[in-house]
Amino acid sequence: MIIRFIRNYPCVNIEMAHIHLGEGSFPLWALALWTTLGLGLIAIVTYRIRKNGVDPNRIALAGIAAAASFAIFQLNIPVWGGIHMNFTALVGILAGPLLGTIIALVVNVFSAALGHGAIGLLGANTLVNATEAVGAYYGFRWLRRADWDVFPASASAATIGLATGSVLMGAIIVVSGVNGSALPRSELTIAVGGMVGLNLGVAVIEGLLTGFIVRFLASIRPDLIGESTEAERSETAGVSA
Amino acid sequence: MERWKQYGGLLGLLVAFTGVGLWGFTATGGALPYAKRFSKALQRGTHDGGGPLVDLGRGIVVAGPIRQGGMVLEWLGLLALLTIVGIGLYVYADRNGPDDGRRVSR
């Protein structure tokens, strides 16, 4: 009876590049696939952290970033019909790609424990959110190396990182298929495309917000975003002169 | 890079994504809560709809699964725990961490 209920009314609720379908909405092979890929990603990240280590200051920052991400994850704001943000791009820029991936896992585990997201989809959701963090981090570094200012670099990188996560989210749903949906794959793809499109609009809001936060942090503690302070810059210039 | 190019690039990106977002908003039913939007979209396919993009009357609310599941206190507890651990780690690293920011923790 429960299965029939799920099949007739799939408890589908996906917000801001975070899949929280009800348990049983993905076929078993898809659950196994995304869980395996998610575990593989976490294994690689853990290995790299163990091998290369991380700056203790960054670990501390990751703790605070995880709290901020977990808080914003659960708040629904009245824009675009009602959405929540993730701050995964901000987490990626501040904590880096390795810790950003770990934070994505931690936030998803806690959220699923509260009923916000299925436990069976932890692998898929970690993949999606880690993509956002990693994309934003490398995008930000790349734009900064191209001599972009902090605000346009962080806002652009965050928006693109979040958009990449949204596209991955859509791809995961289309590849997996949804139990209970009578739509053929082509129509399902169009419907999911509409949701991905909406998520790009949400990425604009979160991207701008991330840009403002990173710009503010850069003005008071540039070391938090991996940049040198004014004093260090003058010191370096003095040495090299 | 010149500043107008940076901000022009960002503006172009935001305008393009907002346009796509508007299409997605309309095509998936307009001003609907996400759960309803998605169940409709995945069961019946795309269907046009409208409504306000911003609905201040709705306010900022805790996510439905937590609110309806009566888990708000648990959420606040977890949030407090994460915040305390995060700030604790930050203070610890600030007092005992490396001076040059290059030492690594294994």
CB-based contact A76:B62 (threshold 8 Å)? yes
Which chain A residues touch B33 with a CB distance below 8 Å? 81-82
Q: What is the pLDDT of residues A82-109, one digit of tens each?
A: 778 889 999 999 999 999 999 999 999 9
Q: Inspect the interface and report whether the beta carbons of B42 and A149 lie closer than 8 Å.
A: no
pLDDT confidence of A11, banded at 50, 70, 90? very low
> Count of A–B CB contacts within 8 Å?
231
Quick one: pLDDT at residue B21?
A: 93
Q: How many residues does chain B have?
A: 106
The answer for residues whose C-beta is within 8 angstroms of residue B94's C-beta and 6 or more apart is: A57, A60
CB-nearest partner of B24 from A11, A73, A198: A198
CB-based contact B41:A191 (threshold 8 Å)? yes
Q: What is the pLDDT of residues A105-164, one digit of tens each?
A: 999 998 888 888 788 889 999 999 999 999 999 999 999 999 999 999 999 999 999 999
pLDDT at A241 over 60: no
- Greater model confidence, A120 or A42: A42
Q: Inspect the interface and report whether the beta carbons of B6 and A61 lie closer than 8 Å.
A: no
Domain of A91, CATH number, reads 1.10.1760.20
Quick one: pLDDT at residue A106?
A: 92
Query: Is A236 inside a domain boundary?
Result: no
Q: Inspect the interface and report whether the beta carbons of A77 and B60 lie closer than 8 Å.
A: yes
pLDDT at B98 over 60: no
pLDDT confidence of A13, banded at 50, 70, 90? very low
- Please give the residue range of the domain that contains residue A189: 2-226
Query: Is A240 inside a domain boundary?
Result: no
Query: Is A125 inside a domain boundary?
Result: yes
CB within 8 Å of chain A, chain B residues 4-63? 6-7, 9-10, 13-14, 17-18, 20-25, 27-28, 30-35, 37-39, 41-46, 51, 53-63
pLDDT, average across residues B21-46: 81
pLDDT at B101 over 60: no
Quick one: pLDDT at residue B104?
A: 53
C-alpha to C-alpha distance for A196 and A163, rounded to whole angstroms: 8
The tokens for A204 are: 């604009």
Helix (H, G, I), strand (E, B) or coil at A229: coil
Query: Is A241 inside a domain boundary?
Result: no
CB-based contact A53:B106 (threshold 8 Å)? yes
Q: What is the pLDDT of residues A189-233, one digit of tens each?
A: 999 999 899 889 999 999 999 999 999 989 988 888 877 655 565
Query: Is A238 inside a domain boundary?
Result: no
CB-based contact A11:A19 (threshold 8 Å)? no
Number of domains within chain A: 1
E-strand ranges in chain A read 14-15, 18-19, 75-76
Query: Is A36 inside a domain boundary?
Result: yes
pLDDT confidence of A5, banded at 50, 70, 90? very low
- β-pairing, A18-19 with B61-62? unpaired
Query: Is A204 inside a domain boundary?
Result: yes
- Greater model confidence, A124 or A181: A124
Q: What is the pLDDT of residues B39-93, one digit of tens each?
A: 777 777 888 888 888 888 777 778 777 888 788 888 888 889 888 888 888 788 7
The tokens for B9 are: 């690039």
Query: Is A237 inside a domain boundary?
Result: no
Please give the residue of chain A at the shortest CA–CA distance from B73.
Answer: A114
C-alpha to C-alpha distance for A229 and A219, rounded to whole angstroms: 9
Quick one: pLDDT at residue A17?
A: 63
